[in-house]
């Protein structure tokens, strides 16, 4: 469904030269939920903007269903971190969700209203359609932003640290919302986060980025059961082993090399964390 090939992005201008990402290659099958995790400043937003067709790569390419992405592709929706800035305060929730649908000229007004209602229902905001964004909590505003993406009936949903600014309890609820929507809608999800636990909890696979110069450090299959819940999944020894593995990879990336630990199979359920890494000079 989605192929990122040898993606490199350098920001130039004002005498500056910032290599935001050096060389990223990975792909997503249709219907997969993949998390990309990496430290702050490693180029995650840059990657997402290239995938969303909002930014042109310096070299390499992004393919969606085999077609090279050169602008925002139809069938793709994006949810950004700054929900506060993504909603219009003077428009009611239902109008905020409906607004981008108006660009789709083939949709009749009743059909648009139907899509909006369905999307608000999917994110648990049926009763909030008539409210203004500023009357809602941060978590609810982010639900509105997700509803707006869902109303598009996207094939691919791109999310850039969407829950970084909400409190822990709300964040847990929103994580479960993403997994539920993914299962119900059959959408392909690329979820970007700097939070290792979130990446392992949400993803079927985790793509680990190094710090700058940014490359794919490792790709990890998360073999956790499809039905996840905050209490039991996070207490599962397999979860603990996976997050340890991701931590190690990110530490190894900081030291500038691949981790030399034995490969961790997600099926390992003995609860024993992987062996510590060799200390590098």
Report how far apart the first and last C-alpha atoms of the chain are (Å, whole number): 40
**Identified binder of Mg ion from the candidate list 19, 25, 39, 45, rule CB under 5 A:** 45
The rounded distance, in Å, linking the Cα atoms of 193 and 81 is 10
- Residue 43 Cβ vs ligand ADP, minimum distance, rounded to whole Å: 4
- Residue 38 Cβ vs ligand ADP, minimum distance, rounded to whole Å: 6
Contact letters (x/-) for ligand ADP, 29-68, by CB under 6 A? ---------x-xxxxxxx----------------------
Residue 6 within binding range of ligand ADP, rule CB under 6 A: no
* Interactions with ligand ADP, residue window 12-31 (CB under 6 A): 18, 20
Quick one: DSSP state of residue 211?
S
Paired tokens of 4: 């990122």
Could you tell me if 202 and 235 are in contact, meaning their C-beta atoms sit under 8 angstroms apart?
no
- Residue 243 Cβ vs ligand ADP, minimum distance, rounded to whole Å: 19
Whose Cβ is closer to ligand ADP: residue 9's or residue 228's? Answer: 9
Return contacts of 22-25, CB within 8 angstroms, 24+ apart: 22/212, 22/213, 22/214, 22/215, 23/60, 23/214, 23/215, 23/216, 24/60, 24/209, 24/214, 24/215, 24/216, 25/60, 25/216
- Binding residue count for Mg ion, defined by CB under 5 A: 2
Chain residues in the site for ligand ADP (CB under 6 A) = 11, 18, 20, 38, 40-46
- For Mg ion, the binding residues (CB under 5 A) are 44-45
């Amino acid at each position: 469904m989605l192929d990122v090939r040898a993606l490199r992005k350098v920001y130039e201008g004002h005498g500056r030269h910032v290599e935001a990402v050096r060389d990223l290659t990975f792909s997503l099958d249709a219907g997969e939920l993949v998390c990309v995790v990496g430290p702050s400043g490693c180029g995650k937003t840059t990657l997402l903007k290239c995938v969303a067709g909002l930014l042109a790569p310096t070299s390499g390419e992004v393919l969606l269903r085999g077609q090279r992405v050169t602008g925002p592709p139809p069938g793709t929706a994006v949810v950004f971190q700054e929900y506060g800035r993504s909603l219009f305060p003077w428009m009611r929730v239902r109008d905020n969700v409906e607004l981008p649908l108006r660009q789709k000229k083939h949709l009749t007004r009743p059909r648009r209203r139907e899509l909006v209602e369905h999307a608000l229902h999917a994110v648990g905001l049926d009763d909030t359609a008539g409210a203004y964004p500023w009357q809602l909590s941060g978590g609810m505003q982010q639900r509105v932003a997700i509803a707006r993406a869902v109303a598009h009936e996207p094939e691919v949903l791109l999310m850039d640290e969407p829950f970084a600014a909400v409190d822990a309890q709300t964040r847990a609820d929103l994580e479960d919302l993403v997994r539920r929507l993914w299962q119900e809608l059959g959408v392909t999800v690329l979820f970007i986060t700097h939070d290792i636990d979130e990446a392992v909890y949400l993803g079927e696979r985790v793509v680990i980025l190094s710090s700058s110069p940014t490359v794919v450090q490792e790709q990890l299959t998360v073999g956790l059961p499809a039905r996840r819940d905050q209490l039991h999944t996070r207490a599962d020894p397999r979860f603990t082993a996976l997050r340890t593995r991701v931590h190690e990879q990110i530490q190894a990336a900081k030291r500038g090399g691949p981790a030399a630990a034995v490969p961790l199979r997600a099926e390992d359920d003995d609860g024993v964390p992987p062996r510590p890494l060799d200390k590098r000079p």
